[in-house]
Structure 1
């Protein structure tokens, strides 16, 4: 199927050309945006994550894969996977986020972007096979609204903290990463892309990152655009609760991206029914440090060129991290 044959009752390109997408700015930040996130980061760094590794579950693509669990903010115990090289030393480390479909296994995150790497693949709270928790909805359209009435209770803030705690757990489990001083790489797609943009400005442990079709970009514009993803649930909520616009500016991935100064590679789509492209490009446009753009014809949509584009992105991702992570 081509992207021109989509069947949606709206235009997933939202009538914008590439040049128009590249001109979209980030929204202005609330006055205490930086202080809010810095305080949350410091709280997450104080957590004793006490990671635990289970038996080896599989070996493939040059990596041994184990179950892992760790503690995040609020004392919540979360799960995921740990990938280690099948042979040789660990020289690079990654935290790998996931989309709103949750993470049921390691999927195409393995092989990792670089050989000789270790990675933690956490399931953020409420989502995926290993972090479903009572009281936190597991479906995307409900999860994205959980605690949204206040910036202090919104689940997205805690999910960002889950990534910081995952990084802490990885560095405890693979101490040679901290000794090397190489810095971590971050990889995230969709939800994981938006969470990564929110997480990276405050955490000096990350040396670079790669975001694919990141969500939560330009919240005011995002809520004017119809879609089929979690953003549609927020659009519906806002119609009955306009006061939510006092909360969402603190969770704008484009605003946060304007604080990211490490090298970043962003794969943004021209057509995406789930994460509107204007929000994706707003994230890329806002980046304050060295940045690269990888343009996809479509995101969250199966199409004829999909496999080829995925392979091309994997090649770009490998090159990017080989250039920007020490010891690569």
Structure 2
């Protein structure tokens, strides 16, 4: 099988076309899923209920990483389950300029990655319920297939919704530990999709960067195979067609229509794990005046020039944070 250039050279042994036949022009035309009646009320209701939960963060240990104070902490999720995370603060004890809530991919997280956290920022690196290294099988099963399907029959209990809502408690924990700071969200893949679901309803966030975000445009996602968690959802819906309706409240492209803050989306033209049409649907949902789109050649893959491309993307994300913060201050 012949793939479009340069993917034919980069991924000659790929089992299928990670561009799914899309070009940048056709990806920019992928429409987000319009919200059904009650979508916004559902998420705003969850946000309001989360305000009554005390994150109650406790510091378990602290060490120094790359000139920052990094603490292992414990905090509550939206249903009271106790989850572990890492918090980060400037080592010299100065008051942080900004706070970053930093999501992660579906593989979980075994350490902090400070590349997208300014030196004068505080941050929290939550680890999603059920996922390693810190929260394996806590609040949800670690097995990826079981995880992405857990609780799907009940909107209140679906694990993707719970993981997104847990981000509000992570923000609460960061504020409790560092004091009131303006908040910025960063998330990649799984964390990008969760951020699209959660951040529009929390007015503490002044901006966000979503890197190759998942959970976008389920009509497109469920129509094609992939190597990521979406394949488990696709196979489940094939066997249980009613599950398509159960996924509607958790479409990241639908939620992204409600963004009212500057959002940078780093979306890939080739991605076998998170189909690009879903990523771009999230970007296309963000109001044009608020969107900064950064196009990556590929996602979830090694390819020539990746280190330089990643470095440029990280620098662009940090610059976006600064611009979004300046705009928020002016308001």
Alignment check: 8 A CA contact 1:90 1:176 kept: no
Matched, 1:294 2:299: no
Kindly report the root-mean-square deviation, in angstroms, between the aligned alpha carbons of the 2 structures.
1.5
After TM superposition, the structure 1 = structure 2 runs for residues 29-40 of structure 1, keeping only pairs within 5 Å, are 29-40=35-46
- Which residue matches 2:325? 325
Count of residue pairs the alignment pairs up:
319
Matched, 1:76 2:81: yes
For 1:79 and 1:12, the matched residues in 2 are separated by 35
Alignment check: 8 A CA contact 1:141 1:229 kept: no
- Which residue matches 1:270? 269
Task: Give TM-score, length-normalised by structure 1.
Answer: 0.94
- Structure number with higher relative contact order (C-alpha < 8 Å, ≥ 6 residues apart): 1
For 1:258 and 1:275, the matched residues in 2 are separated by 20
- Which residue matches 1:44? 50
Find the residue that maps to 1:89 and give its secondary structure.
coil
Alignment check: 8 A CA contact 1:145 1:234 kept: yes
- Which residue matches 1:21? 27
- Which residue matches 2:3? none
CA apart distance, 1:112: 4.1
For 2:306 and 2:101, the matched residues in 1 are separated by 25
- Which residue matches 1:245? 244
> Residue 11 of structure 1 is aligned with which of 17, 31, 50?
17
Matched, 1:103 2:109: yes
For 2:292 and 2:136, the matched residues in 1 are separated by 35
After TM superposition, the structure 1 = structure 2 runs for residues 148-227 of structure 1, keeping only pairs within 5 Å, are 148-177=152-181, 183-227=182-226
Matched, 1:144 2:148: yes
Q: Deviations over 1:153-172 (max 9, x none)?
A: 21011001110000011111
Alignment check: 8 A CA contact 1:59 1:86 kept: no
> Residue 136 of structure 2 is aligned with which of 125, 132, 135?
132
After TM superposition, the structure 1 = structure 2 runs for residues 278-317 of structure 1, keeping only pairs within 5 Å, are 278-288=277-287, 290-317=290-317
| Residue 112 to residue 135, structure 1, CA distance change in 2 (3 Å) | closer
Q: Which runs of 5+ in 2 are unaligned?
A: 1-5
CA apart distance, 1:140: 2.1
CA apart distance, 1:304: 1.1
CA apart distance, 1:305: 1.7
Find the residue that maps to 2:46 and give its secondary structure.
helix
Return 158-167 or 83-92, whichever deviates more: 83-92
Runs of 4+ in 1 over 6 A off after TM superposition: none
